[in-house]
Amino acid sequence: MDEIVVQLKSLALTEALPLLLKVIGALFIWFIGRAVIGGFRKVLDMGLQRRQLDATLIRYVGSLFSGTLTLMLIIGILGVMGVETTSFAALIAAAGIAIGAAWSGLLANFAAGVFLLVLRPFRVGEAIEAGGVTGIVQEIGLFVTTLDTADNVRISVGNNKMFSDNIINFSHHSQRKLTVKVPLMHGVDVRVLQQALLDRMPSVKGVQERPAPQVEIEEFTLQGPVLTVSVFCKPTEYSDTQANVGEAIAETLFIAGYTVPMPATLASPRALAKAG
């Protein structure tokens, strides 16, 4: 019995005590390392905020930074514990390759999201057309961008699809040009209608004074000339201004006495006889 006790004491001194010291040292390194990583991340976040970067980009960079340092800390602790880190690092690399191959689509969206946040072709609240969708940007995420369409439908588009397509930003400039075509029939006094429309446009709600509205003859067709009414408005008021301009054009043509001539097929003697 005494021999067993002696062996246990010897085993505790030679094996258990060093292991216990390693565990205590590993815990100490873990807590100190996490505190240092947390301090570095706060400094990084403050530096990025001073540069006025997007909040999503700041969170992404901070998470990537702390995650990388935490992984290095774990590998260092395993080395202190006596674990062979070379094979462990190789295992992590192999797992990373496998995960990357399986999540290639997500990683592509992730990388595209970073470029969208850095390059900023559009911002939250702007009206854009990209990835086959037209709407107002609600959120630029790390994997998808969320837009609300004109008919109040929310659509999430993968960042990779959006970034690889043409991006049309309707809200980038403070003014947006609105053009409405007005087809006329042969025989009308085009100059009179041009002047009437030109006088009416400045009073339309949403139409800005500068640049001044324009009414021009765009083309001549078999039916008659086609006028274009061009005005400028705020991007956020485009739809309302378009409706107001259309109503003003119809009202102006009516006041000017413009009526659409009866087509030749309806002006035949038989049609006139029926009309009489």
The pTM assigned to this predicted structure is: 0.58
HEC sequence for 6-34: HHHHHHHHHHHHHHHHHHHHHHHHHHHHH
Report the distance separating Cα 13 and Cα 15, nearest Å. Answer: 6
Q: In what order do the strands lie in the sheet with 133-140?
A: 154-158, 144-148, 133-140, 127-130, 168-169
Quick one: pLDDT band at residue 87, thresholds 50, 70, 90? Answer: low
> pLDDT, tens digit, for every residue of 44-79?
888 878 877 666 667 777 777 888 888 888 877 877
**What is the predicted pLDDT for the residue at 95?**
64
Report the distance separating Cα 124 and Cα 200, nearest Å. Answer: 35
Task: Write the CB contacts of 154 (distance below 8 Å, at least 6 apart in sequence).
Answer: 138, 146, 147, 148
What are the residues facing 183 on neighbouring strands? 226
Quick one: pLDDT band at residue 182, thresholds 50, 70, 90? Answer: very high
Report the distance separating Cα 112 and Cα 106, nearest Å. Answer: 10
- The closest alpha carbon to 140, from 49, 44, 53, 51, belongs to 53
The greatest distance separating any two alpha carbons of the chain, rounded to the nearest whole angstrom, comes to 133
Higher-confidence residue of 275 and 93: namely 93
Q: Give the CA-trace dihedral at 202, 207, 208, 212, to 10 degrees.
A: -50
Q: Average pLDDT over the chain, rounded to whole?
A: 81
> pLDDT, tens digit, for every residue of 113-172?
888 888 889 988 899 999 889 999 998 887 889 999 989 999 999 999 988 889 999 999
Q: Is the pLDDT of residue 94 over 80?
A: no
Cβ count near 227 (within 10 Å) = 20
Q: Is the pLDDT of residue 236 over 90?
A: no
